Amino acid sequence: MSTVVAGPVTPARLPSAPPVRRVVRFRPDRRLVSGALGFAGLLLVWTLLAVARPALIPTPVAVLGAFVDNGDLIAANTLSTTRVAALGWLAGNAIAVALGVFVLVVPRLEASVLRLAAVVSFLPALAIGPVLYVLLDGDTPKIVISALGVVLTTVVGTVVGLRAVSPTVLDVVRATGGGLGAELRFARIRAGLPSLLASLRIAGPAAVLGAIIGEYLGGSEGLGPAMMTAQQQLNVPLTWALALAATAVAGITYAVPALVNRWTSPWAATVSTGSVTFGPATPAVTGWRRLLGMVGGLVAAVTVTLAVWWAAVELLQPSPMVAKTPADVARFLFAGDRAADHRAVVFDALGQTLSFAAVGYLAGTVAALLLVAVLVRFPALEYVAMPPAIVLQSVPLGVFTPIFMIVFGRGLFTAAAICGAVTFFPTLVMTLAAVRAVPSSVTDVFRASGASATRTFLCAQIPAALPALLAAARIAVPAAVVGALLVEWLATGTGLGYLMLRSTTTFAYDQLWAAVVVCTLTMIAAYTIVTALESWVLARMGD
């Protein structure tokens, strides 16, 4: 019989394990790598085009050499344009933010204020520029043109942002005795910062474009005159170097608000780019009441604009040879023995401009939809395609035009390319976001029924993205008209753009003002038609 002796159990001594060494592996950011690949692809395409057409397109090395050889010239003109654009950006955004706060205080006037801002933004800079140079001194005309291009975007961003605050937060502020000032300080400004900064990203390149157009119209220094001089001297590498300098300035103005947004509002990395309606939230109104309300608001905005125009001429008392009243324009177009001839000249030029704008808008929209189809099918390509697209969006129209003239001449292709460039980016961004927001349950039904990816895209995703496509059209259609005006002024020698230039050089100010009024009313009408169509689609599909 065995005896069991109780006692402490000593665990067996195990050999000590070697210390674990943590291996830190460097994993590059996929977005950074894809973006670098996108820029590398852009440089490769540029090099191949330069090899194919060396007389028209310089190589990247030649452009770099132009930077080295003309560094002082490029730096001086870049600083001049940057200063004008910065002053215009500050002035335009200050006015826009003030209008946004005013709309918050007096919400009944929101629709009127925003429509008036739209009218002001649609004024053709190519037409009002010569008048501003007659009435104002120094760089003030360039600053005013730069400021006009940013007002509408920032007003909309401010209004949307100030109303993005949670009602619960406002209730807390009011419960503690806070008024409107406390709401702005502690709630609305913080909640609206992402939307405001998103609008400032768009306003930056617009301010640079306005500064360059102002320099084209009357400046003696800056990137605009420098590019025109380099083009006339057939110095292609210098033209491209100056264009890249303008692109860099516009890109910085686009990127800085994005970085500020990431730093100040990390909780809101992205801001919705959905449809923004002009007016406070109201119950849905359909049918004739909706149409009558929209037409009435448009008529009110145009009436206020005409009243302000008339009052400004009467109060400032400028030279009657230069400044014309609405009555003068009406007499030019509809009274007198030559009124029919005047109308024929103006409206024939308008038809040419609209044809360029329509072709460019369709080309840009089709290109954007094709890229959306590719990115939906191959999502990984987005990080490769978007950085070059953002760079192209940051290039001002005034930079595109001389380069396209060098490469493609002065015909329809250049006009379509310029107008399509301004249409492409907003359509791409807003449609891509809307397509990806389609519920997976919808696309799963198509796939389960054996539909191909192309059929799913055309029959499910594109119809769902139609409201976003129309919202982008509200931005793209007027921009396409502006692009057509610039191309006509700089390249084709036809249309309203060239008519405005010829009227200025021949002191035919009656014709100039008539062209301005007709062009502005056309852009407002196009904007209203697109807005009405968007409203109808939303009513049919459900907001």
Q: Nearest to residue 97, comparing CAs of 182, 179, 214, 193?
A: 193
| Averaged pLDDT score across all residues of the chain | 76
The whole-model pTM stands at 0.70
Provide the Cα torsion 364, 366, 372, 374; round to 10°.
Answer: -120
Query: Where on the phi/psi map is residue 319: left (φ > 0), alpha (ψ -120 to 50), or beta?
Result: beta
Q: H helices of 234-338, where?
A: 236-264, 288-316, 326-334
- Alpha-carbon gap, residue 278 to 267, rounded angstroms: 27
- Could you give the C-alpha distances from 114 to 102, 117, 122, 473, 535, in angstroms and in order? 11, 5, 12, 17, 17
* Two tokens, residue 522: 């056309």
In the prediction, which pLDDT does 273 show?
A: 38
The C-alpha atoms of residue 461 and residue 494 are separated, in whole angstroms, by 40
Please, which pLDDT band fits residue 339 given cuts at 50, 70 and 90?
confident
Q: Report the distance separating Cα 145 and Cα 85, nearest Å.
A: 9
The predicted structure's pLDDT at residue 76: 92
Contact yes or no for 89/210 (Cβ under 8 A): no
pLDDT tens digit sequence for 396-421? 565 666 667 766 677 777 777 888 88
Segment among 21-30, 244-253, 298-307, 522-531 with least mean pLDDT: 21-30
For 18, 41, 47, 139, 235, the CA distances from 59, given in Å and listed in that order, are 58, 14, 6, 35, 13
Q: Please tell me whether residue 321 adopts helix, strand or coil conformation.
A: coil
In degrees, rounded to 5, the angle at the alpha carbon of residue 494 between the alpha carbons of residues 488 and 498 is: 60
What proportion of the chain, given as a percentage, has pLDDT over 70? Answer: 79
Cα–Cα nearest to 484, from 365, 359, 366: 359
By 3-state DSSP, what share of the chain in percent is helix, strand and coil, each rounded to 5? 80, 0, 20
pLDDT in the model for residue 541: 67
Note the pLDDT of residue 303: 77
- In the predicted model, is pLDDT for residue 37 greater than 80? no
What is the rounded distance in angstroms from the CA atom of residue 449 to the CA atom of residue 457?
A: 14
The mean pLDDT of 35-40, rounded to a whole number, is 70
Dist. CA 304–CA 306, nearest whole Å? 5
Q: Name the more confident of 474 and 344.
A: 344
Q: Which of 203-217, 289-303, 312-326 has the lowest mean pLDDT?
A: 289-303
Q: Is-contact 406 239, C-beta < 8 A? A: yes
Q: What is the mean pLDDT of residues 251-271?
A: 70
Q: Specify the residue for token string 């690949």.
A: 37
Q: What is the C-alpha to C-alpha distance for residues 225 and 6, in angstroms, rounded to an integer?
A: 102
> What's the pLDDT tens digit per position in 198-227?
778 778 888 888 888 888 777 778 888 888
Judged on CB neighbours under 10 Å (0-12, 13-18, 19+), 178 is middle
CB-CB contact of 407 with 401 (8 Å): no
Residue that wins the pLDDT comparison between 138 and 305: 138
Contacts of 277 (CB under 8 A, 6+ apart): 535
Length of the chain: 543
Decide if 308 contacts 115 (C-beta within 8 A). no
245 exposed, middle or buried (CB, 10 Å; 0-12, 13-18, 19+)?
buried
**Residue 85: what pLDDT?**
92
Min mean pLDDT across 86-90, 300-304, 391-395 is at 391-395
Q: What does the buried/exposed string (b/e) look like for 191-218 if buried means 16 or more CB atoms within 10 Å of the residue's CB?
A: bbbbbbbbbbbbbbbbbbbbbbbbbbbb
Give the per-residue pLDDT at 86.
93
pLDDT tens for residues 4-36? 444 454 545 545 555 555 544 545 556 666 667
The answer to whether residue 90 scores a pLDDT higher than 90 is yes
User: Which has the higher per-residue pLDDT, 82 or 483?
Assistant: 82
- The C-alpha atoms of residue 129 and residue 213 are separated, in whole angstroms, by 9
Per-residue confidence band for 272, with pLDDT thresholds at 50, 70 and 90: very low
The answer to whether residues 115 and 57 touch, using CB atoms and an 8 Å cutoff, is: no
Task: Quickly tell me which residue has 């030029």 as its tokens.
Answer: 349
Query: What is the tens place of the pLDDT at every residue in 434-452?
Result: 777 777 777 778 778 877 7
> Is residue 110's pLDDT more than 80?
no
Strands (E), 356-444: none
CA atoms lying within 13 Å on the CB side of residue 115:
27
DSSP tag of 22:
P
Residue 257 amino acid letter: P
Q: How confident is the model at residue 322 (pLDDT cuts 50, 70, 90)?
A: confident
> Average of pLDDT values for 486-505?
81
**Mean pLDDT, residues 499-521:** 84
Query: Which residue type, as a one-letter code, is found at position 322?
Result: V
Mean pLDDT of 77-106: 90
Tokens standing for residue 471: 């919202």
Whether the predicted pLDDT of 47 surpasses 90? no
Q: What CA–CA distance (Å, rounded) separates 128 from 89?
A: 18
Q: Within 10 A of 449 (CB to CB), how many other CB atoms are there? A: 9
Picking from 514, 424, 477, 456, the residue whose alpha carbon sits closest to that of residue 127 is 514
Average confidence (pLDDT) over 138-167: 81
